[in-house]
């Protein structure tokens, strides 16, 4: 099973000091075909890829060759099987490059609709990516089905995948839980479609037909990257990914073919303001806090040797010993975690929340002592 790379221990800052020389064209739009341009990027060099590929809507019969170039003059009698086959080849080609340029602990997001998402999903799996979730973007204000022939198409689907089954990946669990009112963030997200002042227009017409809302990218980048991480968007369009990345102080690379989109994206990103450093800080997993050994609490007098601990239901009791180990009334000994496992008969136990001590007339988890210690000793 894969591993979650939480924002555990402080890593060398990449942005705060002088940015290290990078072989990557950071914070730039590269003009051209996404497959060809990705080929010019080094192996294992980006932390996250967000891709919003053509949906192959089969309305006007928009088609792409395996090299990503557009097929013109499609007629109604174009064979649908050929169309799907061609779209599959195109999808596999750009996803293969995406897999190559992704760091081993990176991840990819792809958005699509029922027209193309199944083909994208199969290609993702076949290339060795490991799907972590499929996410549903529920549109708060979708376009109705005017003819009354189907259900209102009110959502799009995103696939989130790590580089492989055993690969690590970044997931800022605490940030997501905080964002969702202290409940786990679910796989269905509701956002309005992109409109109002956020929607880029030129001469009264929308610049891009499928501009994505910034809120969507905000959640993706907040969940799966850290400040300074490099985000690649091979179908950059009008640069929603770049604008949000800049705002959240992530680095970005965009690939886009069309002049009109590139111009709009450049102006948009130039106008975007990075959030204040302090605003970028997110809720951290406990892992990110300095580690406190249970023995330290004994050593420093926060908990006296000889103190009796028990679980919340007072089924089990144990005594604190001078070295920070516990001894149960039955004679078993071990660390706070180990003894919790033994007594409960479970393979895992968090001793910090399992064991309680008597304070102010009631049982409190010993984790509160750890918090007190941290508050008292941290600057």
163-202 residues near DNA, rule: CB under 7 A: 168, 173-174, 177, 182-184, 192-197
Which among DNA, a second copy, none contacts residue 119 (Cβ within 5 to 8 A by kind)? a second copy
Q: How far apart are CA 163 and CA 42, in angstroms?
A: 16
**Is residue 365 classed as helix, strand or coil in its secondary structure?**
strand
Establish if 165 lies at the interface with a second copy (CB under 8 A). Answer: yes
Q: Quick one: which of 218, 220, 266 has its CA closest to 244? A: 218
Which of 22, 40, 145, 260 touches DNA by CB under 7 A?
A: 145
Establish if 4 lies at the interface with DNA (CB under 7 A). Answer: yes
**Is residue 120 classed as helix, strand or coil in its secondary structure?**
helix
Question: How many CB atoms are closer than 10 A to CB 139?
Answer: 17
Which of 14, 44, 100, 115 touches DNA by CB under 7 A?
A: 115
- End-to-end CA, the chain: 38
Establish if 371 lies at the interface with a second copy (CB under 8 A). Answer: no
Total residues contacting DNA by CB under 7 A comes to 89
Given the complex with DNA, which of 24 and 74 has the nearer CB atom? 74
Find the binding residues for DNA in span 279-318 (CB under 7 A). Answer: 285-287, 291, 293-294, 313
Cβ(212)–Cβ(156) below 8 Å = no
Find the binding residues for a second copy in span 300-339 (CB under 8 A). Answer: none
Q: How far apart are CA 285 and CA 54, in angstroms?
A: 37
Given the complex with DNA, which of 274 and 328 has the nearer CB atom? 328
Which among a second copy, DNA, none contacts residue 17 (Cβ within 5 to 8 A by kind)? none
Residue 53, token pair as written in the block: 């590929």
Q: How far apart are CA 84 and CA 199, in angstroms?
A: 31
Which among DNA, a second copy, none contacts residue 155 (Cβ within 5 to 8 A by kind)? a second copy
Establish if 125 lies at the interface with a second copy (CB under 8 A). Answer: yes
Region binding DNA by CB under 7 A among candidate stretches 15-23, 214-222, 250-258, 351-359: 351-359
Q: How far apart are CA 117 and CA 131, in angstroms?
A: 13
Which among a second copy, DNA, none contacts residue 296 (Cβ within 5 to 8 A by kind)? none
Question: How many CB atoms are closer than 10 A to CB 177?
Answer: 14
**Is residue 112 classed as helix, strand or coil in its secondary structure?**
strand
Output the smallest distance, CB 118 to a second copy, in A. Answer: 3
**Is residue 105 classed as helix, strand or coil in its secondary structure?**
strand
Phi, psi for residue 108 in degrees, rounded to 5: -130, 145
Find the binding residues for DNA in span 51-90 (CB under 7 A). Answer: 52-67, 69, 71-74, 79
- Stretch (H or E) spanning 71: strand 70-71
161: β partners: 108, 131
Residues that bind a second copy (CB under 8 A): 1-2, 4, 60-62, 64, 66, 68, 80-81, 84, 113-115, 117-122, 124-126, 131-136, 138, 142, 144-145, 147-155, 157, 159-160, 165, 171, 173, 176-177, 184-188, 223, 285, 344, 346-350
């Amino acid at each position: 099973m894969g591993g979650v790379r939480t924002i555990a221990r402080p890593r060398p800052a990449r942005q705060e000091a002088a940015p290290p020389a990078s072989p990557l064209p950071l914070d730039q739009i590269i003009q051209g075909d996404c497959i060809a341009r990705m080929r010019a990027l080094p192996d294992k060099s980006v932390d996250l890829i967000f891709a919003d590929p053509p949906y192959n809507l089969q309305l006007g019969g928009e088609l792409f060759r395996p090299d990503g170039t557009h097929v013109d003059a499609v007629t109604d009698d174009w064979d649908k099987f050929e169309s799907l086959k061609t779209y599959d080849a195109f999808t596999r080609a750009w996803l293969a490059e995406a897999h190559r340029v992704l760091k081993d602990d990176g991840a990819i997001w792809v958005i699509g609709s029922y027209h193309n998402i199944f083909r994208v999903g199969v290609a993702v799996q076949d290339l060795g990516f490991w799907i972590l979730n499929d996410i549903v973007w529920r549109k708060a204000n979708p376009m109705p089905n005017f003819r009354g022939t189907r259900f209102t198409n009110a959502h799009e689907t995103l696939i989130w995948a790590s580089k492989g089954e055993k690969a690590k990946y970044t997931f800022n669990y605490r940030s997501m839980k905080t964002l969702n009112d202290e409940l786990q963030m679910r796989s269905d997200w509701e956002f309005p479609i992109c409109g109002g002042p956020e929607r880029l227009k030129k001469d009264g017409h929308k610049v891009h037909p499928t501009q994505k809302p910034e809120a969507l990218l905000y959640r993706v980048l907040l969940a799966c990257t850290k400040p300074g991480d490099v985000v690649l968007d091979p179908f950059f369009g009008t640069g929603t990914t770049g604008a949000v990345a800049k705002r959240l102080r992530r680095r970005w690379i965009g690939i886009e073919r069309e002049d009109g989109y590139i111009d709009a994206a450049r102006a948009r990103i130039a106008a975007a303001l990075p959030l204040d450093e302090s605003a970028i800080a997110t809720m951290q997993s406990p892992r990110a806090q300095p580690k406190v050994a249970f023995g330290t609490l004994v050593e420093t007098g926060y908990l006296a040797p000889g103190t009796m601990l028990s679980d919340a239901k007072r089924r089990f009791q144990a005594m604190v010993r001078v070295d920070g180990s516990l001894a149960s009334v039955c004679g078993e000994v071990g660390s706070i975690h180990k003894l919790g496992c033994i007594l409960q008969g479970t393979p895992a136990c968090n001793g910090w929340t399992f064991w309680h001590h008597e304070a102010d007339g009631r049982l409190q988890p010993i984790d509160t002592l750890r918090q007190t210690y941290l508050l008292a000793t941290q600057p």
